[in-house]
Amino acid sequence: MSVPVQSLLFADAREAADLAAFLGRLLHYDRAAAVRLQAGGGALAVFGRPPSFEVLAIRAVRLADTHDFDVTVSAGELLESLETEGPDAGAGALPQPVTGPPWTGVLPPRGGWQECDGLPDPVDLRAALTAAVAEFRARDEALPEDRRTRAERDLIGRDIWSRTIGGTELPLRAVHAAQALGFLRSAPDFPVALLTAGSWLRLRTPFGAVALRRAGAGGGLGMLGLSVGGQ
C-alpha cells in the first residue's frame, strides 16, 4: 500500500503523549499489536484490539496538518516513532504498512449512532467493576486444587464479564476494557455515553471509546467517522 505521508506532526505535544499512553496500554496486552490508522482532515483515529477484552479500542488525536490515509501498522513501531518530550515533542513517523489481523477489516459504521438510555453513572460503573473483580477472586479461590486450571478460570471470567450493565446490552467486559485503557474516570459528572448503530455498541468517553458487536451479530465492514470530540 502506498501511504502519502511518512511523517506525522500532532497539534501539540500532549496529543502525541496521549497517543503514546494508549499504544503502551495496547502493547501491555499484546506485544505484537497492530493498529489501524484512519486520517481525515486534521484528525487521526487509532483502532486497536486488546485480546483480553474482545472489543475495539478507539483513540482519536488532533494533527497539525491535513492528511487523508487509511493504513494498518505495528503499534510498537508507531510508539517508538513518537516524540513526547524535548524540542521535537509532538512529532512522529508513520511506519510501513503491515498485513493486519482480521479485525482490522471489521470496523464500526461511520454514522447513524444514537444514544441509549440505561447506562449507570461512572461511579456506579467503577463499583460494578470492583464487585466483579472481587467475585472472580472469590470464585477462583473456592475452586478445588484439581480444578484450578486456566480453562476453569476462563469459564468464570466469561460468566462474569459477559453480564450486561444496568439496563443496557453492554457487557461488563467493555466497561472493564475502558477502565484498563485509561478511558474511564470515576467522577460523578464525568461524561460517558452508550451509543448504538445497527449491530454495534459503543461506550464513549472524552479519552477514547470501546466498540463491539452485539451478541450474535455477524461480520461486516464499516468505517468510523473521525472526530476528536466524538470518539
Lay out the sheet containing 193-197: strands in order across. Answer: 34-48, 56-74, 208-213, 200-205, 193-197, 114-115
Mean pLDDT by 10 residues, the chain (231 residues): 69 95 96 95 94 93 92 96 90 92 91 94 92 94 90 93 94 95 86 95 96 70 38 57
Residue 100's pLDDT is 85
Q: Is residue 224 part of a domain?
A: no
Q: Is residue 2 part of a domain?
A: no
Say if residue 95 is in the same domain as residue 123.
Answer: no
Residue 110's pLDDT is 80
Residue 88's pLDDT is 87
Say if residue 67 is in the same domain as residue 127.
Answer: no
Say if residue 88 is in the same domain as residue 141.
Answer: no
Say if residue 89 is in the same domain as residue 133.
Answer: no
Say if residue 80 is in the same domain as residue 152.
Answer: no
Residue 229's pLDDT is 40
Q: Is residue 229 part of a domain?
A: no
Q: Is residue 222 part of a domain?
A: no
Structurally, the chain folds into a number of domains equal to: 2
Q: Is residue 226 part of a domain?
A: no
Q: Is residue 231 part of a domain?
A: no
Say if residue 131 is in the same domain as residue 77.
Answer: no
Q: Is residue 24 part of a domain?
A: yes
Q: Model pTM?
A: 0.87
Residue 188 CA: distances (Å) to CA of 51, 117, 165:
29, 17, 17
Q: Which CATH number is 39's domain given?
A: 3.10.150.10
Say if residue 47 is in the same domain as residue 81.
Answer: yes
Q: Is residue 230 part of a domain?
A: no
Say if residue 128 is in the same domain as residue 79.
Answer: no
Residue 170's pLDDT is 96
- Domain interval for residue 20: 7-105
